[in-house]
Structure 1
Amino acid sequence: MTGSKSKTSMFRAPFLKSIWLDDKKTIDRTQYPFSIPAFGTGNFQIEFNKPVTIFAGQNGTGKSTILESIAGLCGFGPFGGNRNYNLNKDEQNILHGYIRASWFPKVTRGFHVRSEALFAFINQVDSLAREGGAGIYQAYGGRSLAERSHGEAYIDIFRHKMNGGGIFVFDEPESALSPMRQIEFLRMVKNFENRGDCQFIMATHSPLIMAYPGATLLNMTDQGIVERPYQMTEHFRILREFYLDPDSFMDGIFCE
């Protein structure tokens, strides 16, 4: 972070206020990633007005690409980590140099979590512990994260990293979490949101996470980015149909 932890505590989240495409850059909207509907045909800009912002949408709509660019603005690696644990630190997000941001204040404390990169992070912590001593494990319950289940390790990482405040970027956290663990995760987010020193930006396919109270839910569609309640997302609609009549739902999808 620019400044100390106490400086962050002087302000309340959200710290990242908005992101937009740099209009001074030459952009070819026929080429990826600028061809994805999220960028539309006009000026691309996302405002962050609440401490928790959630992106929803189908695969390929640009959720991870935008989250990676936000992580890069914070100084985090595109594959996960933070300024100290930067996985694949030589790699840059494809939008590097094209996205600009407004902050108050600028925050570089926090973490970027991608479920598929969790094991790489655990291996990095274990490697540092071998080089610098097992004391590194004290931040994670006193033992290697590799000795726990995927979900347990995920929750322990969240709990430790959020404790210092900052900005947290989660790409599909439900991938590592059972429904009960998702509830535990949501309670944890709420506790840290209430402190006022944490901003959360997430992408998810889980209606349970989309329903987080008070969050801004941005749905990535073929028409661009649309703010809407979770009840209007395709994810919620499909699962609601399944839960209302599972047998008929399954019969229907195999008869098509």
Structure 2
Amino acid sequence: MGSRRSDQFIRSIELSRDTVPSFTEYPFNLAAIKNLESLSFHPQVTFIVGENGSGKSTVLESIAVAYGFNAEGGTKNFNFSSRATHSHLNRYIKLIKGLRKPEDGFFLRAESFYNLATNIDKLDSEPSFGPPLIDSYGGQSLHEQSHGESFFAVFQNKFRGKGLYILDEPEAALSPSRQMSMIVRIHELVQQGSQFIIATHSPIIMAYPQARIYEIQEGFKIVEYEGTEHYQIMRAFINNTQKMLDILME
């Protein structure tokens, strides 16, 4: 699993704190950002975990946009926008890149995946001299599959390796067994020279071995897998289900 630091596509980010207008305003008042100076990434897989509203998706979005991806997801070639709701945090961060450039890349956002699927269908309905865009996603409209099937079709067909993949809550549409299949797919792509930066709530996905896990508390803290709050809560619930239910429902 070893990799030289220079082989990373993104080595780290730095927040230009002296240019931030105010740390009492959104998004700079979020737990993930208000104490942020720099954040380094694992050469292969980095997880960002934290409670809802902590800012993990905002940070992930800023990294993706600063790198050149569309704010609503897709490859660098997508430029659709259904609603301009992303923050401008990307204007205040600096990307520290490695020596290599990715040959592939994708920004997947669970919350705007529907818009991505719609845009693909729209582009394929227009005259084109090349093959249909959907061919690179498995050949079947993402809207004609279940939410989980369409998510997994992207992982299986669109991700080609030697790529930078930024994933925001990819477990949103996946069953537990599909989340385990995603670990397999991540590992295949890592072995093909890829780098992942993933925001997730899934104790299954974040179990990928030797990854770096940042948990957002009052800032970013590196934690071991079994030290994450997500793992501890899930383990406690599964091992003491009735007791936990009794406490929750009393």
Task: State the TM-score, normalized to the length of structure 2.
Answer: 0.89
- Residue 68, structure 1, aligned to residue 68, structure 2: no
Q: Does 1:150 align with 2:144?
A: no
Find 1:104's aligned residue among 98, 101, 118.
Answer: 98
Unpaired runs of at least 5, structure 2: none
> What is the distance in 2 between the residues matched to 1:106 and 1:86?
24
Aligned-residue offset at 1:78: 1.9
1:16-95 to 2 correspondence within 5 Å? 16-41=10-35, 44-88=37-81, 91=84, 93-95=87-89
Distance apart, 1:183 and its partner CA: 0.9
Look up the SS of the partner of 1:131 in the other structure.
coil
* Aligned mate of 2:122, from 119, 124, 127: 127
CA contact (8 A) 2:66 2:91 kept: no
1:205: Cα distance to partner?
0.6
Q: In the alignment, is the contact (CA less than 8 A) between 1:18 and 1:47 conserved in 2?
A: yes
1:210 corresponds in structure 2 to 206
**Counterpart amino acid of 1:176?**
A
Structure 1 position 105, deviation (Å) = 3.2
Question: Does the 8 Å CA contact 2:72/2:116 hold for their aligned counterparts?
Answer: no
Are 1:115 and 2:106 counterparts? no
Per-residue Cα deviation, 1:41-67 (whole angstroms, up to 9, x for no partner): 4x6100113310000110111100100
1:179 aligns with 2:176: yes
CA contact (8 A) 1:72 1:93 kept: no
Deviation of 1:224 after TM superposition, in Å, equals 1.4
Q: Is the 8 A contact 1:216 1:227 kept in 2?
A: yes
- C-alpha change, 1:224 and 1:12, in structure 2 (3 Å) is closer
Asked if 1 retains the 8 angstrom alpha-carbon contact of 2:46 and 2:212, the reply is yes
- Deviation, structure 1 residue 106: 6.5
User: Quick one: which amino acid aligns to residue 207 of structure 1?
Assistant: P
Alignment partner of 1:96: what SS?
helix
Contact (CA 8 Å) 1:151, 1:176: kept in 2 or not?
A: yes
The match for 2:249 is 254
Q: Is the 8 A contact 2:6 2:99 kept in 1?
A: no
**Equivalent-residue separation in structure 1 for 2:54 and 2:109 (angstroms):** 17
**Per-residue deviation, 1:194:** 0.7
- Could you tell me which of 9, 26, 30 is aligned with 1:15? 9
Asked if structure 2 preserves the Cα contact closer than 8 Å seen for 1:50 and 1:215, the reply is: no
Question: Are 1:201 and 2:186 counterparts?
Answer: no
Identity %, equivalent residues: 36
Gaps of 5+ in 1: 1-10
Contact 1:13 1:199 in 2 (8 A): no
**Deviation for aligned residue 1:13:** 4.5
Per-residue deviation, residues 62-90 of structure 1 (Å, max 9, x unmatched): 10010001101221122212221234188
Looking at structure 2, the residues matched to 167 and 89 of structure 1 have their Cα atoms a distance apart, in angstroms, of 24
- State the match for 1:219 in structure 2: 215
After alignment, is 239-248 or 135-144 more displaced? 135-144
- Select 2:238's aligned residue among 237, 243, 253: 243
- Stretches of 4+ aligned residues off by more than 6 angstroms: none
Change (3 A) 1:12 1:187: farther
How many residues of Structure 1 are paired with residues of Structure 2 in the alignment?
242
- Code of the residue aligned with 1:188 in structure 2: it is R
